[in-house]
Structure 1
Amino acid sequence: MTQSRRMLVLRAVVEDYIRSQEPVGSTSLTKQHDLGVSSATIRNDMAALEDEGYLIQPHTSAGRVPTEKGYRYFVDRLATVMPLSEAQRRGINSFLEGSVSLKDALQRAARLLSEITGQVAIVASPSLAKATMRHVEMVPVAMNTLLAVVITDTGRVAQHGLVVPSMPSADDINHLSSTVNEQCGGLSLAKAGEKVRSIAETAGFEEVKAVAKALADAFESMALDERANELYMSGASHLAHSRSLADLAPLFDALEEQVVLMKLMSNLSEETNASGVGVAIGSESHTPGLLHASVVSSGYGRKAASRDSNLDDGSTTSPSDNEPVAFVGSIGPTHMDYAATMAAVRAVARYLSAFISESGTDAS
């Protein structure tokens, strides 16, 4: 009983510190929360929590603040993420509905998430490695060059130049395009590359064998190109209001390291809790510049959109069902409002899932 009450005290300390950003004392806890015990008992509980590494006392005779371990316990007990209010959901919907392209939607999503949380928002474009091919067009642009325009199920459009020894006839190119679209639709770009190589060796495609091999190379190159994951970032100016100058330089350096950020947030989005949101607190990110920051990330993907028609109805999702093609996330101080940030990240991720699902349908 003592242990469970002690953890209620911890939760109360975390909630109050997030709200006030001032060390929390036993007297204020007694006033703010109905814990059913005296101030002296709460003081003893706080001392025990400090001994166990959940709280720290920054100054003698001052209140206490949560440690990383304290925040981690608090976040892990947020079993369900609160759904956003109807007004917030309508606001997200109307803001993102104005998107004219995938890039525009991702830029808007980053801007919106930053405004909602008051923190840095990062949105990655769908990974080509995880996308499937919807359609390809090959257009001659020079004597020995064709432009392959590839549309994926996520709505991304990728272009690749194909250099060939000699230009086949328009009919032969169209025949190859039709065959590739018929046999490769729904395949990953890597698998599509393998399929196109087998098509190149098929009778009737002798005249376009070089084009088919060049297209197969292009598919495989796109599938392996990690740089194809563009990051859209918004809200870096918010950091100046929440961090000390000493913390800002390494934090901005961390934000510049896009490959490191992409790996961290991508991994987080795949190692989520029951609500489909991953959280790294301070040193858990294994990134020096984020030592005093927390990262919240969620994947967005095809299956989430088809299953979650209400988008933010409070239901939980299984990470294995989600199959994220990219991530959306927020970076803020360790004393961020975790419940609100997790809800906002999840809601924006779900709207992006719906958006790319519709884009993929339109493209097919």
Structure 2
Amino acid sequence: MVTERGLEVLRAIVQDYVATHEPVGSKSIVERHAFGVSAATIRNDMALLEDEELIVAPHTSSGRVPTDKGYRVFVNHLAQLRPLSPGQRNAIESFLGTPGDLDDLMARTVRVLTQLTGQVALAQYPSFARAHISHLELVALAPNRMLVVIVTDAGGVSQRIAPLPIDLDETDVALLRAQLLSLVVGRAVGDASERMLALSEPEPGSPGIRLHPALSALTAVISEELAEFRQERLVMAGAATLARREHDFRGSIHPLLEAIEEQVTLLRLMSEMVTDEHGLATSIGTENAPFGLGEASIVASNYAAPGGTARVGVMGPTRMDYPSNLAAARAVARYLSRMLDDDEAAR
């Protein structure tokens, strides 16, 4: 059984190994940390930690490094989140302060997070599946080309050019706009999608028969855009940091690069991570093996959005500064929540 001092020794090993990337020995622990005991006593504590599979000797060296299990104990019981400096907080505020739209805000979010942590930054988009369509606009670009703009009450915006099979005049556009508005505006995204799909052919000889080809083209475009609103999305930044940190990984970084490219795996992992009472989540090394990412760790924080909660975090090697990365993810998540809440209130 590991003693209280043994756990403090584990904390020292994790902190020193993260800082130096060198296996940590009993002598260096005595020199760097005020335990008030001899190196021999620290070696006994380290032997108990090794028996519990919390640390391991990477080579024949006398030093030890944390195992994934050791990192887990550290994160769950020993890590103390480090408050961000005023400079870091100012960087978040200035970087996220004036976004152009939601896409810009999410892109800025991951850029500032990768700058703060030096890791790959990940952010789930707010879910628009439960959002309602607040506005739909048709803008004629040519008699047979229409710009379709869809806006949701959760901040989602879609713009798409629709080619039309027939030419339309201003009166035709007004009629189509009125019909489409009645179908979708004020309705949930899922309900609007169903109404688009259920749109039936007009009766032969009815007034709408002439415009039906254009209506069909527009509803097809709108349905595709609503489907995009319902899909989960992930935005990332800092993939180049993996190449710079390749020496921190025991094996290949290719599974991580593939996950970044595919996104589906990371979306599943981010969604399934269990948060603590503070909305923070950590998945370490072998815990990610079912997703093919056993070489990596991910830390994340929930943020509040109009469509519910989503997550923002970072991915990197297991040898990462968990307290600092968790603090950065939490700070960015809180600021993102405020930005989205202010935007919702303004609407």
TM-score (norm 2): 0.79
The answer to whether the Cα contact below 8 Å between 2:146 and 2:163 also exists between their aligned partners in 1 is yes
For residues 225 and 197 of structure 1, the distance between their equivalents in structure 2, rounded to whole angstroms, comes to: 15
Unaligned runs of 5+ in 1: 201-205, 304-321
Match of 1:262 in 2: 267
Counterpart of 1:323, as a letter, is: G
Counterpart of 2:239, as a letter, is: A
User: Following superposition of structure 1 onto structure 2, how do residues 119-130 of structure 1 map, counting pairs within 5 Å?
Assistant: 119-130=119-130
Match of 1:158 in 2: 158
User: Following superposition of structure 1 onto structure 2, how do residues 9-88 of structure 1 map, counting pairs within 5 Å?
Assistant: 9-77=9-77, 81-88=81-88
Partner SS state of residue 190, structure 2: helix
For residues 226 and 264 of structure 1, the distance between their equivalents in structure 2, rounded to whole angstroms, comes to: 20
For residues 108 and 26 of structure 1, the distance between their equivalents in structure 2, rounded to whole angstroms, comes to: 43
Unaligned runs of 5+ in 2: 201-206
1:275 aligns with 2:278: yes
Q: Give the direction of change, closer, same or farther, for the CA distance of 1:132–1:280 in structure 2 (3 Å limit).
A: farther
For residues 232 and 149 of structure 2, the distance between their equivalents in structure 1, rounded to whole angstroms, comes to: 18
For residues 80 and 196 of structure 2, the distance between their equivalents in structure 1, rounded to whole angstroms, comes to: 46
The answer to whether the Cα contact below 8 Å between 1:278 and 1:297 also exists between their aligned partners in 2 is yes
The answer to whether the Cα contact below 8 Å between 2:96 and 2:109 also exists between their aligned partners in 1 is yes
Match of 1:99 in 2: 99
The answer to whether the Cα contact below 8 Å between 1:123 and 1:232 also exists between their aligned partners in 2 is yes
Q: Give the direction of change, closer, same or farther, for the CA distance of 1:226–1:195 in structure 2 (3 Å limit).
A: closer
Match of 1:137 in 2: 137
Counterpart of 1:69, as a letter, is: K
The answer to whether the Cα contact below 8 Å between 2:11 and 2:78 also exists between their aligned partners in 1 is no
Which string of whole-angstrom CA distances, capped at 9 and with x for unpartnered residues, describes residues 277-333 of structure 1?
A: 221111212367632221122333326xxxxxxxxxxxxxxxxxx9324x3221111
1:330 aligns with 2:310: no
For residues 235 and 170 of structure 1, the distance between their equivalents in structure 2, rounded to whole angstroms, comes to: 45
Match of 1:350 in 2: 334
Counterpart of 1:354, as a letter, is: R
Q: Which moved more, 1:7-16 or 1:155-164?
A: 155-164
For residues 165 and 218 of structure 1, the distance between their equivalents in structure 2, rounded to whole angstroms, comes to: 13
Partner SS state of residue 256, structure 1: helix
CA RMSD of aligned residues (A): 3.7
The answer to whether the Cα contact below 8 Å between 1:193 and 1:215 also exists between their aligned partners in 2 is no
The answer to whether the Cα contact below 8 Å between 2:126 and 2:308 also exists between their aligned partners in 1 is no
Q: Give the direction of change, closer, same or farther, for the CA distance of 1:165–1:273 in structure 2 (3 Å limit).
A: same
Match of 1:251 in 2: 256
Match of 2:240 in 1: 237
Q: How big is the shift at 1:222? A: 4.4
The answer to whether the Cα contact below 8 Å between 2:132 and 2:152 also exists between their aligned partners in 1 is yes
Q: How big is the shift at 1:263? A: 2.0
Match of 1:306 in 2: none
Which string of whole-angstrom CA distances, capped at 9 and with x for unpartnered residues, describes residues 5-49 of structure 1?
A: 222221221111111111111222222223344332221121111
Partner SS state of residue 243, structure 2: helix
For residues 160 and 186 of structure 2, the distance between their equivalents in structure 1, rounded to whole angstroms, comes to: 20
Counterpart of 2:276, as a letter, is: N
For residues 226 and 133 of structure 1, the distance between their equivalents in structure 2, rounded to whole angstroms, comes to: 10
Q: Give the direction of change, closer, same or farther, for the CA distance of 1:132–1:3 in structure 2 (3 Å limit).
A: farther
Q: Which moved more, 1:62-71 or 1:146-155?
A: 146-155
Q: How big is the shift at 1:169? A: 4.3
Based on CA coordinates, which of the two structures has the bigger radius of gyration? Answer: 2
For residues 304 and 77 of structure 2, the distance between their equivalents in structure 1, rounded to whole angstroms, comes to: 26
Match of 1:117 in 2: 117
The answer to whether the Cα contact below 8 Å between 1:57 and 1:63 also exists between their aligned partners in 2 is yes
Which string of whole-angstrom CA distances, capped at 9 and with x for unpartnered residues, describes residues 182-209 of structure 1?
A: 642xx3x113445778999xxxxx9599
Q: How big is the shift at 1:75? A: 1.0
% identical aligned pairs: 41
Q: How big is the shift at 1:146? A: 5.5
Which string of whole-angstrom CA distances, capped at 9 and with x for unpartnered residues, describes residues 129-178 of structure 1?
A: 35443322244567677654211233221245779998784554454466
The answer to whether the Cα contact below 8 Å between 2:282 and 2:297 also exists between their aligned partners in 1 is yes
Q: Give the direction of change, closer, same or farther, for the CA distance of 1:164–1:239 in structure 2 (3 Å limit).
A: closer
Tell me how many residue pairs correspond in the alignment.
Answer: 336
